[in-house]
């Protein structure tokens, strides 16, 4: 299986940014490969050129895609049409009509969209988001693998099952060799071209193991590596960048500093943001966002979360997921975030920032309801992560209970995801960044 379409380089500018053609659609990607020239065929992921292919190999893959690429696009276009008749309140119709014609809602309008509850209005909200996704992002949908290499954690976040305070949890820590073997199995066995390596917050030896694993994987395979080991400080980030990691997945969890500090005893919001800014300064792209449905979180605060991710931190992908209570944490009795609340946030992200990076459907959303993934993809989302953690460890990576895919093999996850995307007219590819 392949989650990438090879593209042909048509130009490379002085800053090393390549323009790549996919059946005539132009996208941009940063290039670090020596000797790359116009005319060469490449795979790009997350805005990076990751591998050059010989023309014969590229043409073979392209011949598989040639027909389905345009068929899928036609199906996506059909599913992304806006409803003709106007339903719901004239005010909601006005805000969404304006959004679909290119004028994004202001803060007050955004807050009002988050409070929608009427079915017809919600449908219009979701359809507007899907229309904008189709228009500005096309029909490609990233499929990245996530490999959770350790459940050790040095923090005490009061919503998270991996918290150090959760003494009953059986912990595991994969060695550098185990991480490397699992990554290579995911790349070779299932065609992943981008992998997220995630853990609880790590320091010391586990961090050294991660650095060694990243370097070893990249010595053997061309893949985009996104790290997600928590706040590891400038030095750790620099070492991982030198080892070849190019993305950092780390949520700021909430833009409300006071709420953040209540949820994360002994930590500051400023430190969290500083880590994200340091990563950007080093050269990483970041994937960030917040948890939806936290105690004391308001619609105003969620709009600020979206703006912080998009404008404050220039996120390359939006990672917003629902809160799910974990029985062994202080928030055990706080209610789970409803699917509707989460879908409204996904739709609003796309409506506010139609041209910015992909919107992720998180595993937590799928955990609330297995069908929510498809619904998320129809209201603005265009990115999925599949769980590539060795099955014997998955249950122990207990951020919240009942995690989707905890017991599904990678093969079954891949088949289900590809089938779902095909039905929605989406190409399971990460084509990088659109040429503006």
**In the complex, which residues of this chain contact ligand 5AD (CB under 6 A)?**
159-160, 251, 253, 291, 321, 323-324, 326, 364, 399-400
Between residues 109 and 253, which has the closer beta carbon with respect to ligand 5AD?
Answer: 253
Minimum distance between the CB of residue 326 and ligand 5AD, rounded to whole angstroms?
5
Q: Would you give the DSSP letter of residue 228?
A: E
Between residues 62 and 292, which has the closer beta carbon with respect to ligand 5AD?
Answer: 292
d(CA 244, CA 390): 23
Minimum distance between the CB of residue 256 and ligand 5AD, rounded to whole angstroms?
14
Return all residues near 296 (Cβ < 8 A) that are at least 6 apart: 256, 259, 262
Between residues 33 and 336, which has the closer beta carbon with respect to ligand 5AD?
Answer: 336
Minimum distance between the CB of residue 392 and ligand 5AD, rounded to whole angstroms?
20
Region of residue 303 (phi > 0: left; psi between -120 and 50: alpha; otherwise: beta): alpha
Between strands 142-150 and 383-387, the pairing is: parallel
Between residues 27 and 251, which has the closer beta carbon with respect to ligand 5AD?
Answer: 251
Residue 226 near residue 46, CB atoms below 8 Å: yes
Between residues 186 and 385, which has the closer beta carbon with respect to ligand 5AD?
Answer: 385
d(CA 145, CA 417): 12
Minimum distance between the CB of residue 212 and ligand 5AD, rounded to whole angstroms?
22
Residue 105 near residue 95, CB atoms below 8 Å: yes
Minimum distance between the CB of residue 172 and ligand 5AD, rounded to whole angstroms?
16
Between residues 65 and 323, which has the closer beta carbon with respect to ligand 5AD?
Answer: 323
Between residues 291 and 414, which has the closer beta carbon with respect to ligand 5AD?
Answer: 291
Between strands 7-12 and 17-22, the pairing is: antiparallel
Rg of the Cα trace of the chain?
21
d(CA 11, CA 36): 10
Burial of residue 289 (number of CB atoms within 10 Å: 0-12, 13-18, 19+): buried
Between residues 88 and 312, which has the closer beta carbon with respect to ligand 5AD?
Answer: 312
Between residues 350 and 403, which has the closer beta carbon with respect to ligand 5AD?
Answer: 403
Minimum distance between the CB of residue 307 and ligand 5AD, rounded to whole angstroms?
18
Minimum distance between the CB of residue 162 and ligand 5AD, rounded to whole angstroms?
7
Nearest Cα residue to 408 out of 399, 400, 417: 417
Minimum distance between the CB of residue 289 and ligand 5AD, rounded to whole angstroms?
8
Between residues 72 and 316, which has the closer beta carbon with respect to ligand 5AD?
Answer: 316
Tokens, residue 332? 């055990």
d(CA 413, CA 3): 14
Minimum distance between the CB of residue 20 and ligand 5AD, rounded to whole angstroms?
32
Between strands 194-199 and 224-228, the pairing is: parallel
Return the SS3 of 20: strand
Minimum distance between the CB of residue 379 and ligand 5AD, rounded to whole angstroms?
19
Residue 170 near residue 222, CB atoms below 8 Å: no
d(CA 178, CA 388): 13
Burial of residue 275 (number of CB atoms within 10 Å: 0-12, 13-18, 19+): buried
Q: What are the φ/ψ torsions at residue 378 (nearest 5 degrees)?
A: -95, 5
Minimum distance between the CB of residue 167 and ligand 5AD, rounded to whole angstroms?
17
Between residues 52 and 326, which has the closer beta carbon with respect to ligand 5AD?
Answer: 326
Residue 237 near residue 279, CB atoms below 8 Å: yes
Residue 358 near residue 317, CB atoms below 8 Å: yes
């Amino acid at each position: 299986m392949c989650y990438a379409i090879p593209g042909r380089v048509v130009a490379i500018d002085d800053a090393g940014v390549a323009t790549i053609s996919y059946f005539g659609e132009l996208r941009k990607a940063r290039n670090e490969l020596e000797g790359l020239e116009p005319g060469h065929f490449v795979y790009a992921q997350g805005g990076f050129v990751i591998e050059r292919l010989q023309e014969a190999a590229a043409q073979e893959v392209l011949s598989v895609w040639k027909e389905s690429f345009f068929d899928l696009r036609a199906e996506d276009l059909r599913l992304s049409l806006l409803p003709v008749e106007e339903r719901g309140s004239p005010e909601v119709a006005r805000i969404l009509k304006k959004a679909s014609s290119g004028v994004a809602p202001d803060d007050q309008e955004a807050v009002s969209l988050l409070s929608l509850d009427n079915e017809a209005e919600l449908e219009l909200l979701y359809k507007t988001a899907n229309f904008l996704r189709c228009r500005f992002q096309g029909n490609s949908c990233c499929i990245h693998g996530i490999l959770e290499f350790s459940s050790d954690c040095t923090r005490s976040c009061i919503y998270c099952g991996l918290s150090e305070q959760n003494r009953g949890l059986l912990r595991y820590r994969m060695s550098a060799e185990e991480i490397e073997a699992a990554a290579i199995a995911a790349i070779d066995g299932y065609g992943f071209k981008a992998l997220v390596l995630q853990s609880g917050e790590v320091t010391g030896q586990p961090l050294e193991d991660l650095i060694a694993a990243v370097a070893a994987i990249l010595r053997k395979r061309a893949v985009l590596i996104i790290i997600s080991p928590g706040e590891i400080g400038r030095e750790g980030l620099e070492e991982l960048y030198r080892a070849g990691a190019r993305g950092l997945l780390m949520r700021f969890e909430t833009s409300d500093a006071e709420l953040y500090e209540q949820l994360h005893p002994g930590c500051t919001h400023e430190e969290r943001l500083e880590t994200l800014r340091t990563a950007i300064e080093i050269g990483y792209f970041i994937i960030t966002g917040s948890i939806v449905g936290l105690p004391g979180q308001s619609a105003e605060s969620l709009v600020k979360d979206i703006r912080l991710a998009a404008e404050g931190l220039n996120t390359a992908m939006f990672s917003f997921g629902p809160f799910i209570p974990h029985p062994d944490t202080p928030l055990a009795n706080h209610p789970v975030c409803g699917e509707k609340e989460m879908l409204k946030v996904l739709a609003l992200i796309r409506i506010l920032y139609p041209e910015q990076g992909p919107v992720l459907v998180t595993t937590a959303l799928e955990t609330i309801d297995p069908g929510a993934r498809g619904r998320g993809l129809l209201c603005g989302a265009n990115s999925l992560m599949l769980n590539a953690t060795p099955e014997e460890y998955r249950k122990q990576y207990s951020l919240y209970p009942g995690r989707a895919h905890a017991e599904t093999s990678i093969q079954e996850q891949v088949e289900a995801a590809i089938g779902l995307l095909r039905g929605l007219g989406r190409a399971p590819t990460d084509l990088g960044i659109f040429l503006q």
